[in-house]
């Protein structure tokens, strides 16, 4: 790349994955919206045809008059081709197919274990990690070979173990995991300001929060807006809606907050006095199984949903149909801000804008009471070609051991990957707070889930 | 006290509690067995008659020709009288009566929660802590007033929170908690040496082990005997008996090992590769409820027992009956080594012998990955008027979060005590691994257990 | 204060000190230059007339057509009046007079000890700290009384001990120390870019550096510009100019870099491989006395200067004369950007702009291998009413003990202040790297310097 | 080796070095004095004749009727032969000859730098480390090859860097450094007890002290005797003799205390309130050069001595002459307890006795505020085949940075060894507190000292 008066040009982005379309189109839109970065996006997916379709759709953005920059999209057949000379690598893959995910999410239901997402933690998260880590290792080694100085932005779940696998494979990698779940927390504070004081917050980023924890189970202990501490407002809001939840009302920007009623996070606030900053579907999975996921009825009572894989399958069909319409021109591509930080992170790393945002990287001491080397989530500052975590201190009492439990499991699973031995992963599986069944059943369940997904687990059976 | 050629004379020991007899008689026997320490034992119990009985029984030891030292036992009516000028304070109280303990242990069974002991952790441990901490605070303040430089040895459970309450009330207190559970671990190694190599270990103390964890959930990562690392022998032993357990065979000194089949600890070895060093009845309570305490059948299968409070009540009757026989002379007092370290700890603190033993004191860094200030168990060196922990390092992967979870709860309960607010204790109650019921039931259970024991909980309702 | 469409209005700033004019006028100019903050500046100085003159001069800024905001300046007779309701407190005092400073800086010369500044460390810094800490304590207590939630920005030296005294007096104080010495480091990197690559850096802030150390002895281990790591360029520049130093050439914005030849920092780079980020006059004072301050000749050879207090006195006369001209209208006030971050820090704390800047606050773990509680300098993020340090990690080998030595002395001096006992300060005085004389002479020197400044040291002689 | 009723038999000890006789004969005497350990001592020295002489002398001990055990001494020509199958390895070598040591100790005098020992720190210690580390590396690699499970006891100086070199070469090595300097501290407390209270302490080991620091610069913060804290007695003693020093009076066991007047350690007590636990000749070298080593006059005033290498040379002649007499039978070997802990350490590691003693091993957290991996000195417990450090906590204020400075230099020198680059060692040389000259002179001095000893420094010039 090079700097010009317009900003940065000839930037090369490698996009790994994207066959499932959603994230890829969002990135295209976000790239088009910025006027100071230009270049090429190389698309690599194991489904080459999907990459080709994305190439065509991506290039259509250049024809929009609203587009502020031009990006040349190009599908390639090998990962090496995509990565050679890349400045940024975006990784957003589906590890396996939705059939494997169906096993991850639904097999445990036989034993009364319900999972609202099943991709980060819980029995499903463990199995998914086992099949994803080898893929991430492969990508990290390809980065090492083709573009060792590139920044790698991961969107794939399970976030922590994906990033861990990359650092374990190539310790010098400049990788981080990026997740929008915290943004909803800012929106909730904004909602509280509106509710109690009639204050309209212009942009969720105007609410400043600290972040401490692990991906999808991050916590906020401080929140500020303008010249004041607005954490007490959150407390008031949590108390007001604790029993009834927050209802969806309209369509303005912060509405994605209301995908759940927030009752799980309000209950966690009641317990610990801190603000759990992710969607309730995620939060619930990090707590003892009986708390929020005891049964579909309990889930409903708490105002969130179990995301069935059948829904994901049909949603994918919708996206494929939309892909067809976009390709044929029946539907036009459109610039719609995703609210994601990915493109801004790239811009900040090129020195085009300042940025403080939450990311997932190895713990080097930014969280004092978690093990060094575990992948944790805190704020970080992004500046020219550098990312440095903000000092987050200690996880507070009560919250500490919930997170420590997850991190300990994270390290056990990573050890299984490293030693090619399922033993440690099984211990993590048993120790997972969602595994409410007894050890004998846990063993049967684990074996069945492994068997269901064994096509991707060859590594462990050599 | 003063030093003479015989050793230490005019040593004053205050014994707080002891109405339930067992521990008091053991101490009397251990004191009589040593030839280098002499003095007075002041007996204080809220049941003055019990103290008087112990006075009479204690003084009978002086008449035994096997007694190597003379101790003057004296029942007193006030704690101040017992403590004034004391060199050592032994605390072994029953917090409340067995009726409260009955509630602690058995009320949770309504919700399918079985506890094998119910005095350290689990729902019963939480409630017991709430009523015991104020008593320990009172004792600590009396020590501060009457004998601030005395060493205080606690045997009362829940050990960690008892010691915590004393340090919170009087930070300069020279207190530690003492527990024999680790000794059984040495006996198991001895059994392994006998089993595999025919080696007869003379004394369990000849097996040297490190200790890291919290009381009743301590772990051993190194074991040595003479010039060798015998940890691998433990591994071999655990594997041999993992499925069948160890059967009680005879009556030699290390037989108290066999009170349980050790299957819980062998299973924990299989999981984590380390040696859980307490009786299985205790270990089971620190693990997720479904692992070893799912049902009475599971308990039986794993080869340990649920200690019913009815048994404790009848056992107390036996001790009271024995007390009567000892008083009347129908039965003679007898010197029987208890295997406890209490008297040796006193001797070491007076410079009469060297001693390294496991104790419970605040974490000042001896366990690196647990919070400072929590009460933890490690080895310590006892020398003239001083106790210093051995550096124990980090709890290992997997084990770490099980212990962290307990420690986090410890600190929450201590906060309830400090702030006179049951809220934090309830959060610990919910987060306890034995609390397998859902939050609504947990709340009902907590309220009922509090109500059952409310006579001792006035502090929280002011 | 309140928010309006223009930004923040009715902001109240209390300016404590400023009688020596320089900093006060700079602040006035910086305030005038921003269009989004408006309000009152209350001026308090022990010299009321000086405050009154500043009031008049400050208000003249409002008449400039270049002024983008209006500020009402008002001299007050009591510190309480200045502080009541303040949003920000700026502290920039001269502790004592230049006569005391003359003793600080020049008395040690009798023993061959030369100091280039004498206000931060070295014998002069120790004595200055002893008389300044009580003043800072007084200010902190006044803040506690009048405006406990105000942000306090300190410019007074010795920076670390001034901030320490404030936190020791009022632990909840929202205070930090602010220093521009790091900015010069950015200018040096800019100079290297120009020198080797002909690249003109627009603004020193475009060079992103990490910061770790203590005030006036901060270190940089990473430097980035746009999409690259420019630390290697610094290395090249240091090597090129190591023996000859950098000569002043012209008058563009980064010229204040060339006040010294940079040979001290290049030599420190050679030694340790890191970039010492303060003026050479400061850096030299933190190193063993023989390294750079052995004699005036050595100082000259290394290309920096000894700032004589006689120069400071005459410089003050110049400023007083200028004050007279500004008052009379003979000279016009003028907006000249100072390059300081103070006003931007206020704006960031009000949510008006993003800011990452280096500050001095207590170590809570942002520097892992220095004691907690010591005042250290690192980057921090400034957001709405909150400041959070960036995680800086460990001071690197070699540099570590030079800084640790200073920090240990910092804590000894603070202890003297706290315990009103000169003993610890004397130990710090002896252990200071500039104290090259023997202990007997050190004692004589210390006593003489204390005697010279005893008017301000009553606290220690009660 | 094997265990029998007598204790441990067929123990194999490899003695590396010993050509200078002193330590070797002491070990022979200590071995003979114990009745529970028997076996072989293989003697290896680069001077084979010296080893042969020691073989003959060693075997003469077996003929003494006072000998309680039999040891077969055998000189061997290769280190491999000595090490094969060894249970213990004792390392006590002279790195180079006294000619090199003459350069280490006396060359710096040209620049006014006096060293009282010159083998641990200071300019002499730096150069000595550079030539010793490669030898220790070689020994460690030979241990790895021949007896990786043997315990290695080092007596060679510079202690810290010798042990460091062994661990750097073979991280799994079971090595520690052993030093008697702390024992004198116990003797001083005994002297204080005698002085103030007429109490005769039977054995210096009856005084229990903690130990924290680095070899030859260890500190005591707690001291107990029987049931009391005797640290205050030390304080009283230090104050009494601070100005006059302690005079040698008679010849009882603790007289080696009085080799110096203790004024250095009393002065350090005055400064910091802690007890520096090594001989004054060592302590002085870790402090700024002007404190105690400014001149021979200052040394005399402080009551200690500069150990000239000429004295060492003539002392060696005495030992060689004695060797001749012992060989010829003109003089008889004699059992004289050395007071060293070496043989007891071996016995404790075989499980024959309990032992807590001070040793030098890598910091794993036993000293919290020093870098991990640096070689530090604290107490440790020795049990069957295992050594575990006692938790020593933080070095106290003031003392902290003196020790940190030395440790930082230790790590710099180790880096020079590792990277075969003298650069880092030179920086340590400059930063050493004894290097009171300016950098230009320091460079000349360093170069001259390197040149004087270059025969042993080939590693750095490849």
Min distance D278 CA to chain B CA atoms (Å): 22
Give residue-wise pLDDT tens across range A341-398. 999 999 999 999 999 999 999 999 999 999 999 999 999 999 999 999 999 999 999 9
Question: Which residues of chain D approach chain B closer than 8 Å at the C-beta?
Answer: 1, 3, 8, 87, 206, 208, 210, 222, 224-229, 349-351, 354, 356, 364-366, 368, 379, 381, 383-386, 388-393
Residue entry with tokens 């980023």: A205
Q: What per-residue confidence (pLDDT) applies to C462? A: 74
Q: What per-residue confidence (pLDDT) applies to C191? A: 94
The alpha-helical segments, DSSP class H, found in B15-121 are 22-32, 48-61, 79-83, 98-106
Residue D251 has pLDDT above 80, yes or no: no
Task: Select the residue of B298, B397, B436 nearest A436 (Cβ to Cβ).
Answer: B436
B91 within 8 A of B17, measured Cβ to Cβ: yes
Task: Select the residue of C294, C408, C438 nearest D401 (Cβ to Cβ).
Answer: C408
β-sheet bridge partners, residue A225 = A207, A228
Phi-psi region of B410 (alpha: psi -120 to 50; beta: other; left: phi over 0): alpha
D284 within 8 A of D302, measured Cβ to Cβ: yes
Chain A CB contacts of C224 below 8 Å: 351, 383-386
Q: How confident is the model at residue C249 (pLDDT cuts 50, 70, 90)?
A: low
Q: What share of chain A is helix, strand, coil (3-state, %, to 5)?
A: 50, 20, 35
Catalytic residue among C53, C106, C180, C216: C180
pLDDT average, residue stretch D151-179: 97
Choosing among C298, C398, C415, which should be mutated to test the D contact, i.e. which has the most D CBs within 10 A? C398
Under an 8 A CB cutoff, do A401 and B431 touch?
A: yes
Residue A23 has pLDDT above 90, yes or no: no
Q: What per-residue confidence (pLDDT) applies to B338? A: 86
C460 within 8 A of C422, measured Cβ to Cβ: yes
How far apart are alpha carbons B113 and B104 in whole angstroms? Answer: 11
How far apart are alpha carbons A362 and A360 in whole angstroms? Answer: 7
- Percent share of chain D, pLDDT over 70: 97
Task: Select the residue of C228, C383, C391 nearest A366 (Cβ to Cβ).
Answer: C391
Question: Which residues of chain B approach chain D closer than 8 Å at the C-beta?
Answer: 1, 3, 8, 87, 206, 208, 210, 222, 224-229, 349-351, 354, 356, 364-366, 368, 379, 381, 383-386, 388-393
Q: How many CB pairs lie under 8 A apart between chains B and D?
A: 106
Q: How confident is the model at residue D249 (pLDDT cuts 50, 70, 90)?
A: low
Task: Select the residue of A267, A407, A427 nearest B272 (Cβ to Cβ).
Answer: A427
List, in sequence order, every beta strand (DSSP E) within C277-385.
Answer: 355-362, 375-383
Residue entry with tokens 């036996």: B318
Under an 8 A CB cutoff, do C208 and A351 touch?
A: yes
- Percent share of chain C, pLDDT over 70: 97
Sheet containing B228-229: order of strands: B207-209, B223-225, B228-229
DSSP-derived secondary structure for D410-457? HHHHHHHHHHT-THHHHHHHHHSTT--S-HHHHHHHHHHHHHHTGGG-
List, in sequence order, every beta strand (DSSP E) within A190-289.
Answer: 207-209, 212-214, 217-220, 223-225, 228-229, 275-276
Give residue-wise pLDDT tens across range B182-200. 888 999 999 999 999 999 9
pLDDT average, residue stretch A141-165: 98
Catalytic residue among A106, A180, A216, A224: A180
SS3 D95: coil
How far apart are alpha carbons C205 and A354 in whole angstroms? Answer: 11
DSSP-derived secondary structure for B303-352? T-----HHHHHHHHHHHHHHHHHHHHTSS---------SHHHHHHHHTTS
Chain D CB contacts of C126 below 8 Å: none
Q: What per-residue confidence (pLDDT) applies to D181? A: 85
Give residue-wise pLDDT tens across range C268-277. 999 999 999 9
B461: burial class by Cβ within 10 Å (0-12, 13-18, 19+)? exposed
Token reading at C69:
């905001």
Under an 8 A CB cutoff, do C408 and D400 touch?
A: yes
Min distance C258 CA to chain A CA atoms (Å): 26
Give residue-wise pLDDT tens across range B129-172. 999 999 999 999 999 999 999 999 999 999 999 999 999 999 99
β-sheet bridge partners, residue A381 = A356, A388
Among candidates B121, B263, B220, B214, which has minimal Cα distance to B401?
B214
Strand B71-75 and strand D386-389: the pairing is unpaired
The alpha-helical segments, DSSP class H, found in B88-121 are 98-106
Residue C256 has pLDDT above 50, yes or no: no
H/E stretch holding D253 reads none
pLDDT average, residue stretch D316-324: 92
Min distance C286 CA to chain D CA atoms (Å): 12
Task: Select the residue of B291, B402, B439 nearest A439 (Cβ to Cβ).
Answer: B291
SS3 A334: coil
What is the Cβ-side half-sphere exposure of residue C183, based on CA atoms within 13 angstroms?
17
Task: Select the residue of C1, C228, C390 nearest A388 (Cβ to Cβ).
Answer: C390
Choosing among B126, B408, B415, B433, which should be mutated to test the A contact, i.e. which has the most A CBs within 10 A? B408
Residue of chain D whose alpha carbon sits nearest to that of C427: D271
Under an 8 A CB cutoff, do D385 and B3 touch?
A: no
What is the Cβ-side half-sphere exposure of residue D215, based on CA atoms within 13 angstroms?
28
Instruction: Supply angle C-alpha B259, B263, B264, rounded to 5.
Output: 95
C398 within 8 A of C271, measured Cβ to Cβ: yes
Q: What per-residue confidence (pLDDT) applies to C19? A: 72
At least 3 CB pairs under 8 A between chains B and A: yes
Q: How confident is the model at residue A257 (pLDDT cuts 50, 70, 90)?
A: very low
Chains that touch C (3 or more CB pairs under 8 A): A, D
Exposure b/e, A225-234, CB count within 10 A at least 16 = b: bbbbebbebb
How far apart are alpha carbons C62 and C74 in whole angstroms? Answer: 13
D395 within 8 A of D213, measured Cβ to Cβ: yes
Question: Which residues of chain A approach chain C closer than 8 Å at the C-beta?
Answer: 1, 3, 8, 87, 206, 208, 210, 222, 224-229, 349-351, 354, 356, 364-366, 368, 379, 381, 383-386, 388-393
How far apart are alpha carbons B31 and A322 in whole angstroms? Answer: 86
Residue D331 has pLDDT above 90, yes or no: yes
Q: How far is CA C337 from CA C26, C32, C68, in A?
A: 8, 10, 13
Residue C394 has pLDDT above 90, yes or no: yes
Give residue-wise pLDDT tens across range B415-428. 999 999 999 999 99
Under an 8 A CB cutoff, do B438 and A298 touch?
A: yes
Give residue-wise pLDDT tens across range A48-102. 999 999 999 999 999 999 999 999 999 999 999 999 999 999 999 999 999 999 9
Q: How confident is the model at residue A22 (pLDDT cuts 50, 70, 90)?
A: confident
Chain D CB contacts of C408 below 8 Å: 397-398, 400-401, 404
DSSP-derived secondary structure for D186-216? HHHHHHHHHHHH-PPPS-GGGEEE--EEETT
Backbone torsions φ then ψ of B52, nearest 5 degrees: -60, -40
Q: What share of chain B is helix, strand, coil (3-state, %, to 5)?
A: 50, 20, 35
Give residue-wise pLDDT tens across range B78-122. 999 999 999 999 999 999 999 999 999 999 999 999 999 999 999
Min distance D38 CA to chain C CA atoms (Å): 46
Chain C CB contacts of D430 below 8 Å: 271, 288, 291
Residue A252 has pLDDT above 60, yes or no: no
Q: How confident is the model at residue C181 (pLDDT cuts 50, 70, 90)?
A: confident
Under an 8 A CB cutoff, do A408 and B430 touch?
A: no
pTM of the predicted model, to two decimals?
A: 0.95
Choosing among C200, C231, C388, which should be mutated to test the A contact, i.e. which has the most A CBs within 10 A? C388
How far apart are alpha carbons C12 and C86 in whole angstroms? Answer: 5
Which of B369-378, B395-404, C252-261, C446-455 shows the lowest per-residue confidence on average (mean pLDDT)?
C252-261
Under an 8 A CB cutoff, do C397 and D415 touch?
A: yes
Residue of chain D whose alpha carbon sits nearest to that of C370: D369
SS3 D383: strand
Task: Select the residue of C87, C206, C365 nearest A351 (Cβ to Cβ).
Answer: C206
**DSSP type of residue A205:** G
Give residue-wise pLDDT tens across range D64-109. 999 999 999 999 999 999 999 999 999 999 999 999 999 999 999 9
Q: What ipTM was estimated for this complex? A: 0.93
The alpha-helical segments, DSSP class H, found in A273-396 are 280-285, 289-292, 296-301, 309-328, 342-349
Residue A328 has pLDDT above 90, yes or no: yes
Residue entry with tokens 């000429």: D310
Q: What per-residue confidence (pLDDT) applies to D386? A: 95
At least 3 CB pairs under 8 A between chains A and D: no
Backbone torsions φ then ψ of D364, nearest 5 degrees: -110, 10
Question: Which residues of chain C approach chain A closer than 8 Å at the C-beta?
Answer: 1, 3, 8, 87, 206, 208, 210, 222, 224-229, 349-351, 354, 356, 364-366, 368, 379, 381, 383-386, 388-393
Residue C1 has pLDDT above 60, yes or no: yes
Contacts of residue B444, Cβ cutoff 8 Å, sequence gap at least 6: none
Token reading at D130:
């550079």
Among candidates B223, B237, B292, which has minimal Cα distance to B269?
B237
Q: How confident is the model at residue B252 (pLDDT cuts 50, 70, 90)?
A: very low
Q: What per-residue confidence (pLDDT) applies to A221? A: 94
Question: Which residues of chain C approach chain D closer than 8 Å at the C-beta?
Answer: 267, 271-272, 288, 290-291, 294, 298, 369, 371, 397-398, 400-402, 404-405, 407-409, 411-412, 415, 424, 427-428, 430-431, 435-439
Calculated CA dihedral for residues C21, C27, C33, C36, nearest 10 degrees: -150
SS3 B12: strand
Q: How far is CA D102 from CA C273, D45, D119, D160, in A?
A: 33, 22, 11, 21
Task: Select the residue of D398, D407, D411 nearest C408 (Cβ to Cβ).
Answer: D398
Residue of chain B whose alpha carbon sits nearest to that of D351: B226
A156 within 8 A of A92, measured Cβ to Cβ: yes
């Amino acid at each position: 790349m090079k700097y010009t008066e317009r900003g940065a040009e000839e930037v090369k982005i490698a996009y790994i994955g994207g066959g499932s379309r959603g994230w890829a189109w969002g990135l295209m839109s976000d790239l088009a919206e910025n006027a100071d970065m230009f270049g090429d996006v190389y698309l690599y997916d194991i489904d080459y045809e999907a990459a080709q379709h994305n190439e065509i759709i991506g290039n259509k953005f250049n024809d929009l008059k609203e587009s502020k920059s031009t990006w040349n999209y190009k599908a390639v057949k090998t990962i090496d081709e995509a990565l050679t000379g890349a400045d940024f690598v975006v990784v957003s893959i589906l590890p396996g197919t939705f059939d494997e995910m169906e096993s991850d999410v639904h097999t445990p239901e036989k034993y009364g274990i319900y999972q609202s997402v099943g991709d980060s933690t819980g029995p499903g998260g463990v199995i998914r990690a086992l099949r994803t880590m080898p893929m991430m290792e492969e990508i990290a080694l390809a980065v090492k070979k083709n573009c060792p100085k590139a920044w790698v932005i991961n969107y794939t779940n399970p976030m922590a173990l994906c990033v861990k696998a990359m650092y374990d494979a190539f310790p010098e990698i400049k990788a981080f995991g990026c997740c929008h779940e915290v943004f909803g927390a800012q929106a909730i504070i904004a909602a509280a300001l509106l509710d109690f004081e009639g204050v309209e917050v212009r942009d969720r980023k105007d609410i400043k929060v600290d972040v401490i924890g692990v991906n999808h189970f991050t916590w906020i202990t401080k929140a500020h807006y303008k010249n004041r501490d607005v954490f007490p407002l959150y407390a008031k809001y949590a108390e007001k809606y604790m029993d009834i939840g927050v209802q969806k009302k309209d369509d303005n920007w912060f509405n994605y907050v209301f995908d759940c009623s927030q009752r799980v996070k309000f209950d966690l606030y009641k317990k610990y006095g801190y603000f759990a900053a992710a969607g309730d579907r995620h939060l619930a999975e990090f707590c003892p199984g009986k708390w929020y996921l005891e049964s579909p009825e309990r889930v409903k009572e708490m105002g969130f949903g179990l995301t069935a894989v059948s829904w994901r399958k049909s949603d994918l069909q919708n996206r494929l149909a939309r892909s067809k319409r976009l390709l044929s021109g029946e539907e036009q591509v459109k610039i719609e801000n995703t609210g994601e930080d990915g493109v801004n992170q790239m811009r900040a790393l090129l020195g085009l804008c300042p940025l403080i945002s939450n990311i997932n990287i190895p713990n080097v001491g930014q969280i004092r009471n978690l093990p060094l080397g575990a992948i944790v989530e805190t704020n970080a500052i992004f500046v020219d070609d550098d990312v440095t975590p903000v000092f987050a201190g200690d996880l507070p009492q009560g919250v500490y051991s919930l997170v420590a439990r997850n991190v300990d499991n994270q390290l056990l699973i990573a050890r299984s990957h490293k030693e090619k031995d399922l033993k440690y992963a099984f211990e993590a599986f048993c120790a997972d707070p969602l595994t409410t069944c007894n050890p004998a059943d846990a063993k049967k369940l684990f074996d069945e889930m492994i068997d269901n997904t064994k096509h991707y687990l060859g590594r462990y059976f050599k």
